[in-house]
Amino acid sequence: MAKKKEAEAPAAIAPFVPAQNLPDIKPGDVVAVHLRIVEGDKERIQTFEGTVIAIRGTGAGRTFTVRKVSRGIGVERILPFGSPVISSMEVKRHGKVRRAKLYYLRGLKGRSAQLKEQRVEREPGPQAQTT
Kindly state the average pLDDT of the residues 88-106.
90
Percent of residues, the chain, with pLDDT higher than 90:
40
Residue 55 lies in a domain: yes
pLDDT surpasses 90 at 17: no
Residue 8 lies in a domain: no
Exposure string of 61-79, with b = 16+ CB inside 10 Å and e = fewer, is: eeebbbbeeeeeeeeeeeb
Residue 51 lies in a domain: yes
Instruction: Name residue 56's beta-bridge partners.
Output: 63
pLDDT surpasses 70 at 13: no
Q: Could you report the per-residue pLDDT of 25-78, keeping only the tens digit for each? A: 899 999 999 999 999 999 999 999 999 999 999 888 899 999 998 998 899 999
Residue 2 lies in a domain: no
Residue 87 lies in a domain: yes
pLDDT of residue 123: 67
Its domain, for residue 42, covers: 30-102
Domains identified in the chain, total number: 1
Q: Is 18 helix (H, G, I), strand (E, B) or coil?
A: coil
Residues 6+ apart with CB under 8 A from 37: 43, 44, 45, 46
Q: How confident is the model at residue 120 (pLDDT cuts 50, 70, 90)?
A: confident
pLDDT of residue 5: 61
User: Domain containing 88 — which CATH number?
Assistant: 2.30.30.790
Residue 75 lies in a domain: yes
Residue 18 lies in a domain: no
Strands (DSSP E) contained in 3-124 are 30-39, 42-56, 63-70, 73-80, 86-93
Q: Is 106 helix (H, G, I), strand (E, B) or coil?
A: helix
Residue 117 lies in a domain: no
| CA atoms in the 13 A half-sphere facing the CB of 95 | 22
pLDDT of residue 76: 93
